[in-house]
A and B are shown apart, each in its own frame.
Chain A
Amino acid sequence: MTALAATARYELRMQLRKPAIWIATGLPFALYALFAVLGDDPTGLQRYHYETSPKVWMVDALGWFTPVLPMVFGIVLADRLVRDRKLGVAELLDITPTSRTARLVGKYLGACAATAVPVALLYLGVAVAFMVWRDRPAALRWGLATFTVIVLPLLLLAGSLSFLGPRLMPTPLFRVLIIGIWFWAGATEVESEFPSFAGTLLSLTMDYPLGVFFASPNATTGPAGVALDFLRPQPTTGTAVLSLALILGLAAAILGAARALNARTSE
């Protein structure tokens, strides 16, 4: 337990000192703000300007930004696990009386927590700004709810992917592949003829929790009459919880695979 906590704490503090973690949140947010400024037609983000509901701001407007997070953090965290081996630290740590699993899980939790810090600050900043601007303290509650239900599962999934991927392939290849995965599981249209995870229980745009818990108009849920429709059940509280459980379960399974691979290749 001590090893887990110590590794997590060390990883968190080390990551927070790296500019990459902050750039990975700041740059997409700056581009998102640019997107908001550029789109001056009524369908653009301009419509949120007159919106006074904190829910619309914290869930729907920021909802255009959060799906990018698993991609950027997948890229940033890609070297975490392989780096220890490359630098020769892994062998050194192996001879300490700590469990390898505890160290891996600690590193994972620390890295994920580090990616959550800048995003949490950003949510807090937007919520406080909205609170002051519109005098609606409920923005803080909506911000906290979206951050917990939507953002955290995405970060946990991105973290586990970036722990497994670079064990299977060179890091630069993984960095391109994660854009492909992100595109396929999040950014494609549900109606596209090629089978994709868009609008499913496993979509990276978190359609089911977004649609059911937050009644977001951005969410696409329910059967669409295309391939993989068994992953698109009717949106209910049950299926939304199932979607969250599947995403967290997938993250755990991927981390488990990374652990198994890590144990095998280090012998």
Chain B
Amino acid sequence: MSLWRHEVRRAGWAALLTPMAAAVGLVLVAADGAIRLDQPNRGTALVLQSLLELALPLAAGMGAANLVGRDPVVELQLTLPTAYRTTILRRLAVTAGWVALIALTTATSMVASGWWHRWPEAHPAVAGQLTWLAPTLCLCGLGLLAGALSGSPAVASIVVACVWVFEYAAMGPMQQQRWSRLLYLFATTRGTVEADWTANRLTLLAAGAAMTSAGWLLLRRPSRLLTKEAE
């Protein structure tokens, strides 16, 4: 338990604050829409769903991208009986777990307050949790894999950011083939073929698990990281 407490502290308030900032920011946008503009509920409810599907997964992915390569004295870490990759995985769990906590809290409040169902295309409350779970795991896996491959938080951050922005911008082209529909991160809020939604979510979960495992395997020889400079 104290180990986990340490890892939470090691992840730092940056990792903990980022998803909070994203959540507070978008909730403010939604509140602005609901109060100032007297907007129909639909748009505001979509902003809240976008918080779950777009903003929180990005925060999680960027957190995961910043895990490898930030330890100032990684040599010392490597002498410990605990494998370095176990430590990294524990930090990944802390980062993703915190995002999951925020997402679950948001989703529960949305269901309880009725905002969940005010967006007509919303999925049933329980299965609908895949809205945030699938892209979060996928981007976390991508961030970890990019970090393990490059050893540089800057490069890993660029990879996550570029993929996120690309998927956001390429909404139209990505709907045209089935394979790209299955890999589309924002299938809930930015559209997919209705029948593909569950398959899309499962594909993303599998891709996330595969990329996390690949990152885990790559970190088997962390001495590779020693030639890299700590950031």
Contacts and interface: CB of A to CB of B under 8 A. Distances in A.
Contacts of B63: 172
B58 A76 contact: no
Interface string A164-176: 0000011111011
A40 B12 CA distance: 45
Nearest to B159: A27
A179 B58 contact: yes
Contact of A179 (B154, B161, B174): B161
Nearest to B44: A193
Contacts of A24: 158
A194 B173 contact: no
A175 B62 CA distance: 8
A173 B29 contact: no
Interface string B60-78: 0011001000001000000
B154 A172 contact: no
Query: Interface size class for chain A?
Result: 35 or more
Contacts of A71: 161, 165
Contact of B166 (A31, A43, A171): A31
Nearest to B17: A173
Contact of B14 (A19, A75, A76, A170): A170
A193 B18 contact: no
B155 A20 contact: yes
Interface in B151-178: 152-155, 157-159, 161-166, 168-170, 172-174, 176-177
A contact patch SS: helix
B191 interface: no
Contact of B158 (A44, A75, A79, A193): A75
Given A35-B169, A38-B176, A173 B14 contact: yes
Interface string A17-59: 0011001100110010011001111011000000000000000
A83 interface: yes
Nearest to A68: B165
Contacts of A175: 62, 66, 157, 161
A41 B63 CA distance: 36
Given A170-B13, A172-B62, A173-B14, A27 B174 contact: no
Contacts of B150: 19, 23
Interface of B: 12-15, 17-18, 21-22, 25, 29, 32-33, 37, 39, 43, 58-59, 62-63, 66, 72, 150, 152-155, 157-159, 161-166, 168-170, 172-174, 176-177, 180, 231
Interface of A: 19-20, 23-24, 27-28, 31, 34-35, 38-41, 43-44, 68, 71-72, 75-76, 78-79, 83, 86, 169-173, 175-177, 179-180, 187, 193-194
